[in-house]
């Protein structure tokens, strides 16, 4: 993971593989071709925040609609100025600007959803570990395994359940988004 990335040659579109390598709070500076122009736009791409607070709020509000989880705000992009860089070699000419923008937004959403899934899985693993620690402490203290009712009555179990619920919704949303992108690509 990097705090800062500078791309030293003009590209046709924002490389999402580089965006994925930015740390939260990190920034990337890169020139992107303008259609029908010698100039490029010098863009500043920033990864603005972690998805953990959003996942935590989603886990605490299980009745919240999964569609309200829009990962797009986690990556911002703004044009700094016009510039002229050497183009990246052996790359095709830029796409139609509208189509390129849709691709960038879709790629950003896919990466943001993937980041959210990874972070969600980490939170879920931590909650499962807390539940295992509680069960071990219970067994050591009482010399028996806890009953299902005793497990269900713990905050550790409830926390794990909320996080699992939120994680499963993220997985379904990611799968649905990928399927929609595949269908759109097949129609073109």
**What was the pLDDT predicted at 52?**
53
**What was the pLDDT predicted at 67?**
40
Model confidence over 150-178: pLDDT tens digits? 999 998 898 888 888 888 888 888 888 88
Model confidence over 26-83: pLDDT tens digits? 888 988 887 777 788 888 888 876 555 545 544 444 444 434 444 444 677 788 888 8
b vs e for 6-29, b when ≥16 Cβ sit within 10 Å of the residue's Cβ?
A: ebeebbbbbbbeebbebebebbbe
């Amino acid at each position: 993971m990097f705090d800062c990335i500078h791309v030293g040659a003009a590209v046709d579109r924002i490389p999402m593989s580089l965006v994925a390598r930015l740390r939260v709070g990190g920034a990337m500076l890169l020139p992107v071709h303008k259609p029908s122009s010698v100039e490029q736009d010098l863009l500043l791409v920033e990864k603005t925040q972690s998805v953990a607070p959003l996942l935590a709020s989603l886990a605490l509000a299980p009745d919240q609609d999964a569609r309200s989880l829009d990962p797009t705000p986690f990556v911002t992009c703004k044009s700094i100025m016009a510039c002229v860089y050497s183009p990246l070699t052996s790359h095709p000419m830029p796409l139609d600007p509208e189509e390129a923008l849709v691709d960038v937004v879709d790629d950003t959403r896919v990466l943001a959803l993937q980041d959210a899934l990874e972070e969600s899985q980490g939170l879920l693993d931590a909650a499962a570990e807390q539940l295992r620690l509680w069960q071990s402490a219970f067994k050591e203290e009482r010399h028996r395994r806890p009953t299902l009712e005793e497990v269900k009555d713990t905050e550790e179990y409830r926390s794990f359940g909320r996080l699992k619920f939120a994680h499963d919704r993220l997985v379904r949303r990611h799968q649905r988004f990928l399927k929609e992108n595949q269908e759109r690509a097949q129609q073109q």
